[in-house]
Chains A and B, each alone.
Chain A
């Protein structure tokens, strides 16, 4: 057996191996650590009463933490491989979809965990709606601008949603400003998430060359 063969070893489970390599190349482990950091930050913010009520200011703080989590999901879409990866088979869209879903679930889940047994402005349900919606915006930005700049989408949307919170906008498109029971807001967030994941899965983040 050659040295290379030894290095490769015998791996029977190709699927998990591929998923692991794909997630590693997207720096998903680092992303998960940062999502855990977001959860800790949320916990600290709740503990220190940075969000004492359901007011606009409290929800703005929560929204910013949600934005950080969504940015991690969006930026993780960036691929280091470029065209050599794009010229491969149909497993890639599935992997992209899985990575997006996994990270979004991790983002929403970690924040929900961070807020466990505490009162979250707007309610924990709102958190589960807002994070995937923001992640969807980030993934759309990744498809349009490239993975590296994908964070600008959630950030710009957050600024808009902050204004919507302060000004009491009623449109469901600024879903973080709507109460958790607003069905329209749920639909809009779901649509943004579906569009983002579908775009990134099918097309991948925009190839921006060396700067991508």
Chain B
């Protein structure tokens, strides 16, 4: 198991953003769904070792992120795309990705090849030398994805990765997700249920800091049979689960 969390809680003041979450998942693409404020981003930030949990236990890649040495090892094998991507506008795409490759302690000899591969994989090859300030929102998002995958991570965390991508790029991204999911654990937090349906083998639906549903996309579709509202089967399942927990 690459992710094993038990009774994980994160409080911000009086607010429990994540409230006793249990989750175990191995290689593959894992979708994290939920309405705004459900706690998806807080859970992802804990998985990214950016913030520590308030309570509960967490093991990532069979290592304990609470300890310094293991956390360092996890971070070498981690890729993270936060919801709000920070970037230095004066960097080129290559410099941006290379900077993260070097920070992730990739062997120096491998860096040029890995950077080139990551930039190509997100379709920014023709803009490799462009400054980030000249890119569109979707392109910036792709540059963010490239920095996340540059070290071929075992654990990949994407927070709203397809925001700003055009339909063609979204399709390509889903394909990339499936490819990455063959060797790594990829956690994708998103509002777009069609992304989940197309790319994820497993999905969890969060509501008010807790996991209200965990299973395959098909199981989520089944929950929506004859219930809920929505245009697509997954949307109906999503609505049905939320309606049930809100009662």
Contacts and interface: CB of A to CB of B under 8 A. Distances in A.
A75 to B, nearest CB: 15
B102 A17 contact: yes
Contacts of A160: none
Contacts of A81: 86-88
Nearest to A8: B112
Nearest to B119: A4
A167 interface: no
B87 A83 contact: no
Interface residues on B, range: 35 or more
B49 A87 contact: yes
B103 A88 contact: yes
Interface stretch (A19-27, A98-106, A133-141): A19-27
Interface residues of A, number: 36
Given A7-B128, A89-B76, A80 B87 contact: yes
B102 A21 contact: yes
A203 interface: no
Interface string A132-175: 00000000000000000000000000000000000000000000
Interface of B: 45, 48-50, 72, 75-76, 78, 80-82, 84-92, 94-95, 98-100, 102-105, 108-109, 111-113, 115-116, 119-120, 124-126, 128-129, 144, 147-148
Given A4-B116, A85-B86, 14 more contacts: A4-B119, A4-B128, A7-B128, A7-B129, A8-B112, A8-B115, A15-B108, A21-B91, A83-B48, A84-B80, A84-B82, A85-B100, A88-B103, A91-B103
